[in-house]
Amino acid sequence: MTAPEAAPPSERTRIRRLAQRGHYDRATLHAVIDAAYVCHVAFTDDHAVHCIPTACWRDGDHLYIHGSNGSRMLKLAASRAQVCVTITHLDGLVLARSAFNHSMNYRSAVIYGEFDVVADALKSAALDTLMEHIAPGRSREARPGDANELAATTILRIPLDEAACKISTGGPEDDEADLNLPVWAGVLPLVLQPQMPVVVAAPRGTPDYVERWQNATVHRTAVDALTSTTS
C-alpha cells in the first residue's frame, strides 16, 4: 500500500506516534477490515471501560457487528454510546541488531463513532453478507435464520467516516553504528493461516469455499518452500 493522499478526518484519528505510518484513504481502510474476522470494540459504561472482541464484516462504508439481544455490549452500543473499534493484523516480528530498534510489522485500523441499529427488514441481508465474508457461496446453502432467530439477533453498523489505519512493513531499521554488530537481523513473519478443515458432515461433498480453504493451506506451504530456497 502506498502513502496516502488523504488527510485525517478528525483530530482524534490523527496519528501522532510514527505519523508516516498513518493512512487515511478508504481503499486501505477497506483492505484492513476485509482481511479481518474479528474486531475489538471499546466502550464505557457506568462502571468501567471495556474492550470486547467480536466478529465483524464490512458492507460499503460501514463496519457491522452482531450478537444476541442480551449482550451488554450490543445493548450499550445500540444506545448510541461512543465507541472505538480496532482491527489489528500482526504480520511479523522485526529483529534489529539493537534491542531498542526491535519492532513489529502490522496493519491496524481504528474507527471512532457510534453504532446504528440495523432495521429488522435489513437483518437477513446483512447476515448473508457476513456469511459470504466467511464462506463465499454458503449463504445459499446454510439454513437461513427464521423469524425467532432474527428477532433474537441485534445487528449494528458504524460508518467508516472517522477512521485511521496504521501500517508497518519491511525490515529492521538499525542505527548506523550498529550495522556491523555480529547479531542476526531480519523478520520473523506471521500470518493468520488456514489449517486443514475439520469435517463434521459433508452430505453433498466439499463446497468450493472449503476447497479454497484447503488450497490456501497448500498454497502457503508452496510459498514457504520457495522462500526457503531463495533466502
Applying the rule CB under 8 A, the residues between 199 and 218 that interact with a copy of itself are 199-204, 206-207, 210, 213-214, 217-218
Among 1, 51, 125, 151, which residue interacts with a copy of itself (rule: CB under 8 A)? Answer: 51
Nine-digit cell string for 218: 497448500
Question: Is residue 227 part of the contact set for a copy of itself (CB under 8 A)?
Answer: yes
Question: Is residue 139 part of the contact set for a copy of itself (CB under 8 A)?
Answer: yes
Cβ atoms of residues 74 and 68 within 8 Å: yes
Of residues 9 through 38, those in contact with a copy of itself by CB under 8 A are: 11-12, 16-17, 37-38
DSSP 141: T
Of residues 152 through 191, those in contact with a copy of itself by CB under 8 A are: 153, 171-172, 178, 181-191
Among 31, 76, 93, 117, which residue interacts with a copy of itself (rule: CB under 8 A)? Answer: 93
Q: How far apart are CA 17 and CA 28, in angstroms?
A: 19
Cβ atoms of residues 128 and 77 within 8 Å: no
- Window contacting a copy of itself (CB under 8 A); options: 1-9, 27-35, 57-65, 83-91: 83-91
SS3 128: helix
Instruction: Tell me how far, at minimum, the Cβ of 169 lies from a copy of itself, in Å.
Output: 11
Among left, alpha and beta (phi > 0; psi -120 to 50; other), residue 100 is alpha
Q: Which is nearer to a copy of itself, 60 or 182 (CB)?
A: 182
Q: Which is nearer to a copy of itself, 9 or 108 (CB)?
A: 108
Contacts of 30 (CB under 8 A, 6+ apart): 58, 160
Among 1, 68, 122, 169, which residue interacts with a copy of itself (rule: CB under 8 A)? Answer: 68
CA distances from 226 to 26, 111, 131, 169, 187 (A): 33, 37, 33, 21, 16
Instruction: Tell me how far, at minimum, the Cβ of 3 lies from a copy of itself, in Å.
Output: 21
Residue 187, Cα to own-chain centre: how many angstroms?
Answer: 22
Instruction: Tell me how far, at minimum, the Cβ of 115 lies from a copy of itself, in Å.
Output: 13
Q: How far apart are CA 74 and CA 118, in angstroms?
A: 12
Number of residues counted as binding a copy of itself (CB under 8 A): 100
Instruction: Tell me how far, at minimum, the Cβ of 161 lies from a copy of itself, in Å.
Output: 14
Question: Is residue 117 part of the contact set for a copy of itself (CB under 8 A)?
Answer: no
Among 8, 92, 165, 167, which residue interacts with a copy of itself (rule: CB under 8 A)? Answer: 92
Question: Is residue 134 part of the contact set for a copy of itself (CB under 8 A)?
Answer: yes
Cβ atoms of residues 162 and 11 within 8 Å: no
State the greatest distance between any 2 C-alpha atoms of the chain, in Å, as a whole number. Answer: 67
